[in-house]
């Protein structure tokens, strides 16, 4: 009675989906997706950070009609969640990114395609039903190779370019060494420039595939000026860099640590969100990527200042478990959990979600409500801007 239906009794949570999907991925690919760099401190903390904040539900509110819709990439979406870029979807299921795209389209959410996708950007966007798509770009040394990806995305109708800014070099991912990670010889990466060795796309001395470790804010501005797509910078963890991103002309920032796959020991994304939102919210968009495993996590991120959230591993687990239907199942779980959280916290729309819906433990062990963000806090913003100039 009064219970939302779940179509699969074996998978009633994202933790279940991770467990069942990982079983089908096998050791090499399962660890590739589930692990990160070094000792996995940041990877594990990404999810644990949400548990360090508690909810403060409000009651006796009419929540007979809860609206979770919002806007992202200039498009109305059904909820503040989309698929962030993740490489090699075809390792999880033959339908790859096309299957992921179909599930996103049916759910009315957006999707960002990885440069290292196993389906072309045109094939992925062709599955759309009015939802929007973004293209991710990891800057490489050869400028023309970067523009090759940008122009293909523009022609395919992408509504945003997501520029990864935390990849001056590749993080040290121990599972890839231990498992001698490699791609199947038949796997293709059609979005890379012609002639790039698709089975070793981020190593060696090929300037068309080697990360640009001389990537600066001047190059960010140059890239923004070279495309008609709005540009979002993914990999921002500090207020200082968020302000520099706004100054460079970015439409938004995605608070991300690459899913714990780059710098181990870096801040969890949820822990970094508040400072970034305090610095630039209202000036540019603030999104969050990393660690979301429950609908209540989405609620907490919105409360703390995120305009939108992204998940990268959830569609991988869904694909591995049951292809496109598995991805749809993961989205249904998160959607139902967000609906329940909003209802029990007395929030009819996303605009009703406030920081005061959250509580954080104090030094004396008691829990205190967070203060609602006010634009009168511009003094903090000005102070942070001065720090960014140092």
Q: Is 128 annotated as a binding residue?
A: no
Residue 9 in marked binding region: no
Residue 218 annotated as part of some ligand binding site:
no
The answer to the question of whether 117 is labelled as a binding residue is no
Q: CA distances (Å), 184 to each of 90, 173, 301, 353, in order?
A: 10, 19, 37, 45
The reply, when asked if residue 57 is annotated as ligand binding, is no
Annotated ligand binding at 289? The verdict is: yes
Question: Nearest Cα to 83, choosing from 5, 160, 146?
Answer: 160
Any binding-site annotation on 23? no
Task: Write the DSSP string, 179-218.
Answer: TT----TT---TTSPTT--TTSTTSSS-TTTSB-TT--HH
Is 234 marked as a binding-site residue?
Answer: yes
CA dihedral 383→388→389→390, nearest 10 degrees, is 100
**Torsion sign across C-alpha atoms 51, 54, 60, 65:** negative
CA dihedral 304, 249, 191, 263 (to 10 degrees): -50
- The answer to whether 356 is annotated as binding is no
360 marked as binding residue: no
258 is in an annotated binding site: yes
Q: Are 111 and 82 in contact (CB under 8 A)?
A: yes
Catalytic residue, candidates 89, 93, 258, 308: 258
Task: Flag whether 195 is marked binding.
Answer: no
Does residue 258 carry a catalytic annotation? Answer: yes
CA distance 284 to 317: 32
Tell me: is residue 145 an annotated ligand-binding position.
no
CA distances from 297 to 45, 47, 51, 259 (A): 13, 9, 9, 15
CA distance 289 to 242: 15
Q: Is 186 annotated as a binding residue?
A: no
Q: H-helix or E-strand containing 101?
A: helix 96-107
Residue ranges of the annotated binding site for glyoxylate are 32, 173, 261
Residue ranges of the annotated binding site for FMN are 85-87, 114, 136, 164, 234, 256, 258, 289-293, 312-313
**Catalytic residue ranges:** 258
Residue ranges of the annotated binding site are 32, 85-87, 114, 136, 164, 173, 234, 256, 258, 261, 289-293, 312-313
């Amino acid at each position: 009675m009064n219970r939302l239906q779940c179509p699969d009794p074996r998978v009633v949570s994202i933790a279940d989906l991770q467990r069942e999907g990982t079983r089908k991925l096998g050791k090499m690919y399962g660890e590739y997706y589930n692990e990160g760099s070094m000792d996995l401190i940041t990877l594990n903390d990404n999810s644990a950070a949400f548990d360090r904040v508690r909810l403060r539900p409000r009651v006796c509110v009419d929540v007979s009609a809860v609206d979770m819709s919002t806007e992202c990439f200039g498009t109305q979406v059904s909820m503040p969640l989309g698929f962030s870029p993740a490489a090699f979807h075809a390792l999880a299921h033959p339908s790859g990114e096309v299957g992921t795209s179909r599930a996103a389209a049916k759910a009315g959410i957006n999707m960002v395609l990885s440069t290292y996708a196993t389906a072309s950007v045109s094939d992925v966007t062709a599955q759309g039903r009015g939802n929007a798509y973004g293209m991710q770009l990891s800057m490489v040394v050869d400028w023309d190779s970067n523009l090759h990806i940008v122009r293909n995305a523009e022609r395919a109708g992408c509504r945003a370019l997501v520029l990864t800014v935390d990849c001056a070099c590749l993080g040290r991912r121990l599972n890839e060494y231990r498992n001698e990670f490699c791609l199947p010889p038949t796997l293709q990466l059609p979005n890379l420039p012609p002639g790039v060795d698709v089975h070793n796309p981020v190593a060696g001395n090929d300037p068309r595939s080697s990360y640009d470790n001389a990537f600066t804010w001047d190059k960010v501005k140059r890239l923004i000026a070279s495309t008609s797509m709005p540009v979002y910078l993914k990999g921002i963890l500090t207020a200082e860099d968020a302000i520099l991103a706004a100054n460079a002309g970015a439409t938004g920032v995605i608070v991300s640590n690459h899913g714990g796959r780059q710098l181990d020991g870096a801040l969890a994304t949820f822990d970094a969100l508040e400072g970034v939102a305090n610095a630039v919210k209202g000036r540019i968009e603030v999104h969050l990527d990393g660690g979301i495993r429950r609908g209540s996590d989405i609620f907490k991120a919105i409360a703390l200042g995120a305009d939108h959230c992204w998940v990268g591993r959830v569609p991988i687990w869904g694909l591995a478990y049951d292809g496109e239907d598995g991805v749809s199942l993961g989205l249904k779980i998160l959607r139902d959990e967000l609906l329940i959280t909003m209802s029990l916290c007395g929030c009819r729309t996303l605009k009703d979600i406030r920081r005061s819906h959250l509580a954080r433990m104090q030094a004396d062990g008691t829990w205190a409500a967070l203060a609602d963000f006010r634009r009168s806090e511009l003094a903090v913003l000005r102070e942070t801007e001065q720090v960014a100039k140092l």
